[in-house]
Amino acid sequence: MQMSIAHASLVMIATLIASRVLGWLRLSVIGAQFAGDARELDAFWAAFRIPDTIFNLLVAGALASAFIPVFSSYLAKERESEAWHVASSVMNAMLVALVLLSGVMWLAAPFLVPLMVPEFDDRQLALTTELTRIMLFSPIFMGLSALFTGVLNSYRQFLSGATAPLVYNAVIILFALFAAPFLGIHALAWGVVAGAAMMWLVQVPELTFRRTRYQISFDLAHAGVREIATLAWPRTIALAAVQIVLFVDINLASRMAPGSLTALTYAFQLMLLPLGVFSIAISAAVFPTLSRYASLGLQGRMRDALEQAMRWILFLTLPTAIVMIVLRRPIVHLLFQYGEFGDAAREATALAFLFYAVGLAGHALVQILARAYYATKDTTPPLAMTLVSIGTNVILAILLAPSLGINGLALANSIATLAEAALLLVVLAPRARLRLLAIGISALRHLTASLAMGVAMFLFIRVTNIPLDLALEPPKPLLLLQTMIAVAFGGAVYVLASSLARVPELDEIVTFLRARRPFRREVTAAP
Show me where the domains of the chain are located: 37-233
Least confident of 43-57, 282-296, 369-383, 508-522: 508-522
User: What is the rounded CA–CA span in Å between residue 189 and residue 133?
Assistant: 9
Q: Residues 358, 364, 366, 368: what is their CA dihedral angle, to the nearest 10 degrees?
A: -160
Q: Which helix (H) or strand (E) holds 394?
A: helix 380-404
Question: Given phi > 0 = left and psi -120 to 50 = alpha, else beta, which region is 278?
Answer: alpha
> What is the overall mean pLDDT for the chain?
83
The DSSP symbol for 79 reads -
Cα-based angle 412, 415, 416 (whole degrees, multiple of 5) = 85
Helix (H, G, I), strand (E, B) or coil at 435: coil
Residue 24: the pLDDT is: 83
CA torsion sign, 504 to 505 to 508 to 513?
A: negative
Percentage with pLDDT > 90 across the chain: 32
CA torsion sign, 283 to 199 to 277 to 186?
A: negative
User: What is the rounded CA–CA span in Å between residue 469 and residue 353?
Assistant: 24
Least confident of 307-321, 461-475, 492-506: 461-475
pLDDT tens readout for residues 81-106: 788 888 888 888 888 988 998 999 99
Percentage with pLDDT > 70 across the chain: 88
Cα of first residue to Cα of last residue in the chain, in angstroms, is 32
Least confident of 56-65, 70-79, 280-289, 379-388: 56-65
Least confident of 150-164, 299-313, 350-364, 390-404: 150-164
Residue 48: the pLDDT is: 92
Residue 434: the pLDDT is: 82
Check residues 139 and 15 and name the one with the higher pLDDT: 139
Residue 516: the pLDDT is: 54
Residue 526: the pLDDT is: 42
Residue 512: the pLDDT is: 58
Residue 523: the pLDDT is: 40
User: What is the mean predicted confidence (pLDDT) over 274-296?
Assistant: 76
In single-letter form, the type of residue at position 368 comes to: I
User: What is the mean predicted confidence (pLDDT) over 496-513?
Assistant: 75
Residue 133: the pLDDT is: 95
User: Is the predicted pLDDT of residue 258 greater than 60, yes or no?
Assistant: yes
Least confident of 69-83, 116-130, 478-492: 69-83
The DSSP symbol for 278 reads I
- CB contact at 8 A, 405 and 256: yes
The residues, any chain, with a CB within 8 Å of residue 524's CB and separated by 6 or more, are: none
- CB contact at 8 A, 56 and 243: yes
Check residues 204 and 192 and name the one with the higher pLDDT: 192
User: What is the rounded CA–CA span in Å between residue 77 and residue 381?
Assistant: 27
Residue 63: the pLDDT is: 62
CA distances from 37 to 45, 124, 181, 252, 455 (A): 13, 11, 15, 20, 39
User: Is the predicted pLDDT of residue 413 greater than 60, yes or no?
Assistant: yes
User: Is the predicted pLDDT of residue 520 greater than 60, yes or no?
Assistant: no
pLDDT tens readout for residues 444-498: 988 999 999 999 999 998 888 765 545 556 778 888 888 999 999 999 999 899 8
- Pick the closest to residue 417 from 285, 268, 523 (CA basis): 268
- CB contact at 8 A, 256 and 406: yes
User: Is the predicted pLDDT of residue 119 greater than 70, yes or no?
Assistant: yes
- Pick the closest to residue 409 from 274, 268, 238 (CA basis): 268
Half-sphere exposure of 473 (CA within 13 A, CB side): 5
Q: What confidence category does residue 293 fall into, taking pLDDT thresholds of 50, 70 and 90?
A: confident
pLDDT tens readout for residues 350-366: 999 999 999 999 998 98
The residues, any chain, with a CB within 8 Å of residue 492's CB and separated by 6 or more, are: none
CA distances from 340 to 344, 365, 374, 473 (A): 11, 36, 44, 16
The residues, any chain, with a CB within 8 Å of residue 299's CB and separated by 6 or more, are: 293, 432, 433
Q: What confidence category does residue 525 fall into, taking pLDDT thresholds of 50, 70 and 90?
A: very low
For residue 80, the tally of other CB atoms under 10 A from its CB is 14
Check residues 327 and 274 and name the one with the higher pLDDT: 327
CA distances from 310 to 169, 181, 268, 314, 366 (A): 29, 47, 23, 6, 10
Full-model pTM: 0.78
- CB contact at 8 A, 249 and 264: yes
Helices (runs of H) and strands (runs of E) counted in the chain? 23, 0
User: Is the predicted pLDDT of residue 425 greater than 70, yes or no?
Assistant: yes
Half-sphere exposure of 174 (CA within 13 A, CB side): 11
Residue 511: the pLDDT is: 67
Strands (E), 286-424: none
Residue 524: the pLDDT is: 43
Residue 213: the pLDDT is: 74
The residues, any chain, with a CB within 8 Å of residue 430's CB and separated by 6 or more, are: none
Phi, psi of 331 (to 5 degrees): -60, -50
- Pick the closest to residue 146 from 191, 91, 212 (CA basis): 91
Helix spans in 117-213 (H) = 122-135, 138-154, 159-174, 180-183, 186-201, 204-206
Highest mean pLDDT range out of 1-15, 33-47, 188-202, 235-249?
188-202
